[in-house]
């Protein structure tokens, strides 16, 4: 018998492949289960511990489900477009296609060596024309529905990557990729109208089995805010502007109004003597990022325009200021300032000596310090005095509505999704510009618009596509005259927004997918991946699903029913692994030494799945010793099963004890495994091992019972140690494969112990421990306790006042 090692891994991987053990059977009568892990980016690096933690452990979950009787679909692929390959090309001259395909080949091999039950026949690779043809198709569907549009907009621009960034890719004012400070630039860009789905994207979150934190992050990101839009007329002018407020109840407390420096009205409103100050201020403000401008703690700045506005509820005149704490991109780019009840207005008014008017009082009648930002009762508000905040919001809007100076309004923080990138390595935007016909979508029959291979990579900030004449120059699909192609490519998040729809029907050459197939296979039942995608991929995918549903292609609302985020595996120093810190863990090295299953089981046992933690070499060593112990124990058991001399057929105390641990494990491993609490699953398997190890030292053995128990053990271990268990299953003389078996059945009666040990207390102090039959009634327990010799001595000549029995645990005797 060979000891467990990498050799066993290879042996069974080969056999699994030859016998197509994991092939998805479309015609199976079993219930489908779509288990998906976020596909990876084919970077040059090897498969790392993080991939293993994500894919390996999710695979164990999928295996549990397979053995529970589900028809499991678990595909894998590559998110293969993107900036790194292009930057690498600029640096080294290696074409992105070549480096990416090479990396895919390496990574795919490593993924195969993991021994996961991936459905490789369903692989998708987003950078191949047979995939991006359909990404372009998706673009056209959105365009036809008015969900893709072009507009000139100030966009985030990374001067070093020389590209536009989505809001999500700007972290604290810097580029997520290279860390350079992000600036603003006006460019005509393509957008997807995700905002059209803002309400549903919020409302349906509560129907999902997703981590609460991720749900909260998406809600915050979408940022629905219910309030009112109120019109302020400019004094002595025809001009007017709207403000968005969530506290229209404070309208009588407005003492000034503020426009964002970028607001188009600013120049028109500013009086002659204020022109210079306002112009200077606008220049300064343009240098600040939105994030800086929103910080409450920041010193407030601003200038007066010289003009006044009229409060629509009471006719009061209030000064119009320009200040950068008001953002151009939110609401209407203008606010009504209520310094008595808003933090930022308070700070601003304090600095510029603007008046404050208290209009909300707490219900308890006290006079709190300003700013008072809570809800309360209206004061100093004329006819609205005495109303609560909630009542006043309705009444004031009603009144404004009558005067046509205001209405209810919902605002969102969410912005439309900017999808065009001035880069080469992405799916070309399938659009042509014609002098006569304008924007002309490429007809579906002409897809894909292929990326030309022969282009020039240079660090000049110009897209290689823009410099490629054969690509740029084309004819208008409508009128046949010379026209030009769009030279931008789609954000890679567009590619990954629909990949889960392609997997089940990945070879379809006629359509992106056959709705009939997809509606059967989706939604994804379990999605596993990192939490960093909360407000990007996970939001985009939900939007695309909803848009395709509304076009009639899909009959479900949400792509991912249940979501789990695995934690992060850190280096032994507790820091995030990185090449520069030299603290990375190379899985190959450990797999070489211990085998893939030891590596996988260590990741399960050493960490809570959703937490992760620091790598420990001692940890993997101890898991390796555990696997050796299982191997020795099963060896002994097998020998006994085949050759034991003193055999019996009865179930006595030792059999009952082993059976207890067997079923205790079956029950808990299945329950904890379902919740991806792998660490406790392994702990239960340790107990199960110990119980077998103890039993095999008995003088007489029930070999039939032992064989059943050991078979169950291997079945239960199989999802967590697939290669090792397949080997053991085979050694036990069972038919291939253990993965065609069901999980062992739990027998609750095995957990009822015949005898239990209970403590006997005297006035709350333990005096004795006694063994009693678990079938005894309360009275019988009392009697047994009182007759125990130790207890009798302890009672002595004291009087028993009361006996309290807590079944299965203790008896407390109260004495005087
Ligand atoms: C008056 C007021 C009084 C406000 C009060 C708050 C409290 P959320 O919840 O984020 O939607 N606001 C509106 N547009 C803004 C902009 N472009 N830049 C900066 N601030 C803006 O916040 C809405 C509130 O933020 C609005 O309600 C407005 O201030 C401010 F006691 O109006 B409020
Ligand atoms: Zn034309």
Residue nearest to atom 18 of ligand 1 (CA): 326
The preferred substitution site among 252, 330, 406 for testing ligand 1, maximizing ligand atoms within 8 Å of CB, is 330
Q: Is 331 close to ligand 1, i.e. is its CB under 6 Å away?
A: yes
Summarize the confidence of residues 588-611 as an average pLDDT.
95
* Residue 4: partners with Cβ closer than 8 Å, 6 or more residues away: 595, 597, 598, 627, 628, 631, 723, 724, 727
Nearest atom, ligand 1, residue 246 CA: 27
Residue with the smallest CA separation from ligand 1 atom 26 is: 245
* Among 493, 519, 548, residue at a domain's last position: 493
Let me know if residue 162 belongs to a domain: yes
**Total structural domains within the chain:** 3
Q: What is the CATH number of the domain that holds 301?
A: 3.90.740.10
Q: How many CA atoms lie within 13 A of 782 on its CB side?
A: 11
344 lies in some domain: yes
Q: Give the distance (Å) from ligand 2 centre to CA of residue 479.
A: 4
Exposed (0-12), middle (13-18) or buried (19+): which is 151, by Cβ within 10 Å? exposed
Taking residue 225's Cβ as centre, other Cβ atoms within 10 Å add up to 15
Same domain, 331 and 405: yes
The continuous run of DSSP H or E covering 431 comes out as: strand 431-434
Query: CA-to-CA distance for 355 and 373, rounded, in angstroms?
Result: 17
Which residue has a Cα nearest atom 33 of ligand 1? 245
Atom of ligand 1 nearest to the CA of 332: 17
For residues 267, 189, 545, 68, the Cα torsion angle rounded to the nearest 10 degrees is -110
State in Å: Cα 473 to ligand 2 middle.
13
CB 378 within 8 A of CB 359: yes
Q: What is the pLDDT of residue 103?
A: 94
β-bridge partners, 772: 756
**CA–centroid distance, residue 218 to ligand 1 (Å):** 20
- Check whether residue 357 and residue 229 sit in a common domain: yes
Q: How many CB atoms neighbour CB 778 within 10 A? A: 12
Claim to verify: residue 396 and residue 279 sit in the same structural domain: yes
Q: Rounded CA gap, 398 and 414, in Å?
A: 28
Mean of pLDDT values over 214-237: 96
Instruction: Taking residues 661-673, report their average pLDDT.
Output: 97
Is-cis flag, bond preceding 490, omega within 30? no
Reported as a pLDDT band with limits 50, 70 and 90, residue 156 is confident
pLDDT at 771: 83
The backbone region for 764, taken as left when phi is positive above 0, alpha when psi lies in -120 to 50, beta otherwise, is: left
75-90 average pLDDT score:
91
Q: Which is higher by pLDDT, 600 or 784?
A: 600
What mean pLDDT comes out for the span 578-605?
91
Mutate to test the pocket of ligand 1, among 247, 311, 323 (most ligand atoms within 8 A of CB): 247
CA 393 – ligand 1 centroid, Å: 14
Q: Which ligand sits nearest to residue 441's alpha carbon?
A: 2
Q: Which of 411, 443, 478 is the last residue of a domain?
A: 411
3-class DSSP state of 161: coil
- The answer on 243 and 167 residing in a single domain is no
Tokens 């390496």 found at: 106
The answer to whether position 152 is within a domain reads yes
Average pLDDT over residues 144-172: 83
**Looking at residue 124, what is its pLDDT?**
98
Residue 245 beta carbon below 6 angstroms from any ligand 1 atom: yes
411 lines ligand 1 (CB under 6 A): yes
Spatial distance between the Cα atoms of 256 and 356, rounded to a whole number of angstroms: 9
402-423 burial, b at 16+ Cβ within 10 Å, e below that, comes to eeebbeebebbebebbbbbbbb
Cβ within 8 Å of residue 552, ≥6 positions away: none
Are 484 and 473 contacting, i.e. CB atoms less than 8 angstroms apart? yes
Residue 442 Cα to ligand 2 middle (Å): 11
Supply the residue whose CA is at minimum distance from atom 22 of ligand 1. Answer: 246
Q: Which of 426, 422, 424 is nearest to 139 (CA)?
A: 426
Number of H helices, E strands in the chain: 27, 31
Does the Cβ of 247 fall within 6 Å of ligand 1? yes
Which residues 6+ apart lie within 8 Å of 483 measured at CB?
432, 433, 434, 435, 437, 440, 474, 475, 476
Name the residues around ion ligand 2, CB cutoff 5 A: 434, 436-437, 476, 478-479
Q: What is the 3-state secondary structure (H, E, C) of 561-573?
A: CEEECCCEEECCC
Tell me which residue has its CA closest to atom 8 in ligand 1: 225
Is residue 155 over pLDDT 80? no
Query: Three-class SS of residue 164?
Result: strand
Q: Which ligand is nearest to the CA of 246?
A: 1
The predicted model gives 635-654 an average pLDDT of: 93
Model pLDDT for residues 352-387, shown as the tens digit of each residue: 999 999 999 999 989 999 999 999 999 999 999 999
Angle at CA of residue 542, ends 576 and 413, nearest 5°: 80
Record the tokens describing residue 122, joined without a space: 């369903």
Assess whether pLDDT exceeds 60 at residue 626: yes
Higher-pLDDT residue of 422 and 689 is 689
Q: Are 74 and 683 in contact (CB under 8 A)?
A: no
Residue 14 among known ligand-binding residues = no
Please give the Cα distance from 299 to 667 (Å, whole number): 60
341 lines ligand 1 (CB under 6 A): yes
Residues 232, 348 within the same domain: yes
**CATH code of the domain in which 796 resides:** 3.10.20.590
Q: How confident is the model at residue 1 (pLDDT cuts 50, 70, 90)?
A: very low
Average pLDDT over residues 180-188: 85
Confidence check: pLDDT of 2 > 60: no
Domain-embedded: residue 457: yes
Through-space distance between the first and last CA atoms of the chain, rounded to whole angstroms: 68
Judge whether 724 and 599 are in contact, CB under 8 Å: no
Report which ligand 1 atom has the smallest distance to the Cα of 331. 14
Which residue, 133, 134, 80, is CA-closest to 450? 133
Q: Are residues 404 and 261 in the same domain?
A: yes
781 is a domain residue: yes
Residues 235 and 335 in one domain: yes
- Work out the number of other CB atoms within 10 angstroms of the CB of residue 806: 12
Instruction: Evaluate whether 498 touches 67 at the Cβ level (below 8 Å).
Output: no
The reply to whether 313 and 341 lie within a common domain is: yes
Please tell me the distance between residue 248's alpha carbon and the centre of ligand 1 in angstroms.
10
DSSP state of 652: -
Radius of gyration for the alpha carbons in the chain, expressed in angstroms and rounded: 35
Tell whether the model's pLDDT for residue 168 goes beyond 70: no
Q: Is the dihedral of CA 176, 177, 178, 181 positive or negative?
A: negative
Q: Are residues 334 and 374 in the same domain?
A: yes
Q: What is the pLDDT of residues 756-772, one digit of tens each?
A: 888 999 998 998 888 88
Cα separation, 264 vs 277, whole angstroms: 17
Q: What is the DSSP string of 283-298?
A: HHHHTS-HHHHH-TTS
> Ligand 1 centre from 242 Cα, in Å?
12
Closest ligand 1 atom to 329 CA = 17
Q: Where does a domain end: 472, 493, 514? A: 493
- The verdict on the CB of residue 330 being under 6 Å from ligand 1 is yes
Distance CA 816, CA 805 (A): 18
Residues forming beta bridges with residue 171, ordered by sequence position = 174
What's the Cα-to-Cα distance from 707 to each of 34, 203, 712, rounded to whole Å? 34, 53, 9
Q: What is the pLDDT of residue 404?
A: 96
Using CA atoms, how far residue 806 sits from 38, 168, 715, 754, 778, in Å, is: 51, 58, 38, 17, 9
**Ligand 1 in contact with 376 (CB < 6 A)?**
no
Q: Does residue 383 lie within any of the structural domains?
A: yes
pLDDT tens column, 8-63? 999 999 999 999 999 999 999 999 999 999 999 998 777 889 899 999 999 999 99
Pocket test for ligand 1, best of 245, 255, 288, 295 (most atoms within 8 A of CB): 245
Environment class of 678 (CB within 10 Å of its CB; exposed 0-12, middle 13-18, buried 19+)? buried
Q: Is the dihedral of CA 244, 248, 250, 256 positive or negative?
A: positive
Q: Is the CB of 244 under 6 A from ligand 1?
A: yes
Ligand number nearest to the C-alpha of 376: 1
Q: How far is the CA of 311 from the centre of ligand 1 (A)?
A: 16
- Ligand 1 atom at shortest distance from the alpha carbon of 248: 1
Residue 273 is encoded by which pair of tokens? 């003597």
* Cα-to-centroid distance, 472 and ligand 2 (Å): 15
Q: What is the pLDDT of residue 238?
A: 95
Q: Environment class of residue 781 by beta-carbon count within 10 Å: exposed (0-12), middle (13-18) or buried (19+)?
A: buried
Range from 105-109, 282-286, 337-341 that averages highest in pLDDT: 337-341
Ligand 1 atom at minimal distance to the Cα of residue 294: 19
* Tens digits of residue pLDDT in 236-246: 999 999 999 99
Of 289, 342, 362, the one to substitute when testing ligand 1's pocket (max ligand atoms within 8 A of C-beta) is: 342
Instruction: Extract the tokens encoding 116.
Output: 């996961």
Shared domain check, 328 and 386: yes
The answer to whether residue 624 is domain-embedded is: no
What span, in angstroms and rounded, lies between the C-alpha atoms of 115 and 737? 14
**Torsion angle (degrees, nearest 10) of CA 626, 632, 636, 641:** 70
Whether the predicted pLDDT of 463 surpasses 80: no
Residues 386 and 407 in one domain: yes
The closest residue, in CA terms, to atom 32 on ligand 1 is: 245
Mean pLDDT of the chain: 94
Q: 432 alpha carbon to ligand 2 midpoint, in Å?
A: 9
Nearest ligand, CA of residue 478? 2
Supply the range of the domain harboring residue 809. 753-815
Is 327's C-beta closer than 6 angstroms to any atom of ligand 1? Answer: yes
Q: Which ligand is nearest to the CA of 432?
A: 2
Ligand closest to the CA atom of residue 435: 2
Is any atom of ligand 1 closer than 6 Å to the C-beta of 344?
Answer: no
Percent with pLDDT over 70 in the chain: 99
Is 338 touching ligand 1 by the criterion CB < 6 Å? yes
Instruction: Using DSSP bridges, classify how beta strands 360-361 and 183-192 pair: parallel, antiparallel or unpaired.
Output: unpaired
- 461 pLDDT more than 70: no
**Average pLDDT score over residue span 232-255:** 97
Residue 155 CA, ligand 1 centroid: distance in Å = 23
Alpha helices in 190-342 (DSSP H): 198-203, 212-222, 265-269, 275-286, 290-294
- Same-domain pairing of 296 and 438: no
**Average pLDDT for residues 654-670, to the nearest whole number?**
96
Could you say which ligand is closest to the alpha carbon of residue 483?
Answer: 2
Flag whether 609 is in a domain. Answer: no
Neighbours of 686 (CB within 10 A): 14
CA angle 94, 97, 98 (to 5 degrees): 55
Q: Whose CA is nearest to atom 28 of ligand 1?
A: 245
User: Rounded CA gap, 220 and 471, in Å?
Assistant: 42
């Amino acid at each position: 018998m060979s000891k467990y090692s990498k050799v066993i891994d290879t042996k069974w991987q080969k056999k699994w492949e030859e016998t197509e053990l994991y092939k998805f059977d479309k015609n199976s009568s079993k219930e489908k289960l779509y288990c998906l892990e976020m596909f990876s980016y084919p970077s040059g690096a090897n498969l790392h511990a993080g991939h293993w933690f994500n894919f390996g452990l999710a695979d164990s979950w999928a295996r549990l489900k397979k053995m529970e009787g589900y028809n499991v679909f678990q595909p894998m692929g590559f998110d293969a477009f993107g900036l790194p390959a292009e930057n690498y090309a600029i640096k080294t001259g290696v074409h992105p296609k070549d480096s990416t395909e090479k990396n895919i080949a390496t990574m795919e091999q490593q993924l195969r060596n993991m021994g996961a039950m991936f459905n490789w026949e369903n692989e998708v690779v987003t950078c191949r024309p047979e995939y991006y043809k359909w990404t372009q198709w998706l673009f056209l569907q959105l365009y036809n529905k008015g969900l893709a549009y072009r507009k000139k907009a100030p966009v985030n621009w990374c001067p070093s990557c020389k590209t536009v960034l989505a809001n999500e890719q700007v972290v604290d004012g810097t580029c997520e990729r290279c860390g350079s400070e992000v600036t603003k630039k006006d460019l005509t860009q393509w957008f997807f109208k995700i905002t059209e789905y803002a309400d549903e994207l919020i409302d349906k979150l509560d129907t999902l089995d997703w981590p609460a934190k991720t749900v909260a992050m998406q809600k915050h990101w979408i940022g629905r805010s219910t309030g009112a839009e109120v019109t302020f007329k400019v004094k002595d002018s025809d001009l007017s502007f709207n403000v968005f407020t969530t506290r229209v109840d404070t309208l009588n407390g407005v003492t000034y109004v503020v426009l964002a420096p970028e607001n188009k009205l600013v120049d028109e409103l500013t009086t002659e003597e204020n022109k210079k100050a306002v112009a200077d201020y606008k220049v300064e403000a343009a240098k600040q990022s939105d994030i800086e401008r929103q910080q409450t703690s920041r010193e407030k700045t601003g200038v007066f325009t010289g003009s006044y506005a009229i409060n629509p509820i009471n006719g009061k005149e209030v000064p119009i200021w320009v200040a950068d704490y008001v953002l151009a991109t939110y609401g209407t780019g203008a606010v009504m300032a209520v310094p008595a009840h808003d933090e930022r207005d308070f700070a601003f008014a304090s600095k510029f000596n603007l008046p404050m008017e208290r209009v909300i009082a707490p219900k308890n009648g006290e006079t709190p310090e300003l700013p008072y930002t809570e809800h309360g009762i209206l004061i100093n508000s004329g006819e609205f005095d005495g109303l609560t905040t909630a009542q006043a919001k309705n009444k004031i809007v009603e009144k404004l509505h009558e005067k046509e100076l205001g209405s209810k309004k919902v605002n969102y923080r969410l912005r439309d999704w900017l999808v065009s990138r001035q880069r080469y390595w992405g799916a070309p935007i399938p659009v042509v510009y014609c002098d006569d016909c304008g924007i002309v979508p490429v007809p579906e029959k002409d897809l894909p618009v292929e990326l030309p291979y022969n282009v020039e990579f240079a660090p000049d900030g110009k897209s290689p596509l823009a410099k490629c004449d054969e690509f740029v120059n084309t004819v208008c699909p409508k009128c046949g005259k010379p026209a030009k192609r769009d030279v931008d490519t789609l954000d890679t998040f567009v590619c990954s927004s629909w990949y889960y729809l392609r997997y089940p029907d990945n070879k379809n050459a006629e359509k992106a997918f056959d709705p009939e197939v997809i509606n059967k296979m989706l939604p994804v039942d379990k999605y596993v991946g990192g939490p960093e995608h909360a407000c990007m991929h996970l939001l985009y995918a939900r939007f695309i699903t909803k848009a395709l549903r509304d076009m009639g292609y899909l009959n479900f609302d949400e792509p991912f029913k249940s979501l789990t985020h695995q934690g992060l595996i850190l280096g032994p120093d507790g820091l995030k692994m990185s090449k520069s810190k030299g603290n990375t863990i190379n899985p190959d090295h450990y797999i070489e030494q211990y085998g893939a299953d030891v590596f996988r089981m260590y990741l399960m046992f050493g960490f809570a799945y959703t937490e992760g933690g620091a790598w420990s070499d001692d940890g993997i060593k101890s898991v390796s010793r555990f696997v050796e112990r299982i191997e020795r124990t099963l060896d002994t058991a097998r020998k006994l099963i085949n050759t034991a001399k003193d055999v019996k057929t009865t179930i006595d105390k030792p059999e009952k004890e082993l059976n207890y641990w067997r079923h205790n494990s079956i029950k808990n491993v299945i329950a904890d495994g379902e919740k991806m609490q792998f660490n406790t699953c392994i702990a239960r398997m340790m107990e199960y091992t110990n119980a077998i190890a103890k039993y095999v030292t008995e003088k007489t053995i029930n070999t039939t019972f032992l064989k059943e128990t050991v078979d169950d053990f291997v079945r239960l271990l199989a999802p967590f140690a697939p290669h090792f268990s397949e080997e053991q299953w085979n050694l036990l003389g069972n038919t291939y494969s253990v993965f065609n078996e069901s999980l062992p059945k739990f027998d609750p009666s095995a957990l009822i112990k015949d005898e239990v040990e209970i403590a006997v207390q005297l006035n709350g102090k333990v005096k004795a421990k006694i063994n009693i039959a678990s079938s005894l009634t309360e009275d019988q327990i009392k009697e047994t306790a009182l007759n125990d010799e130790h207890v009798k001595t302890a009672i002595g000549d004291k009087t028993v006042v009361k006996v309290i029995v807590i079944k299965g645990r203790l008896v407390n005797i109260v004495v005087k």
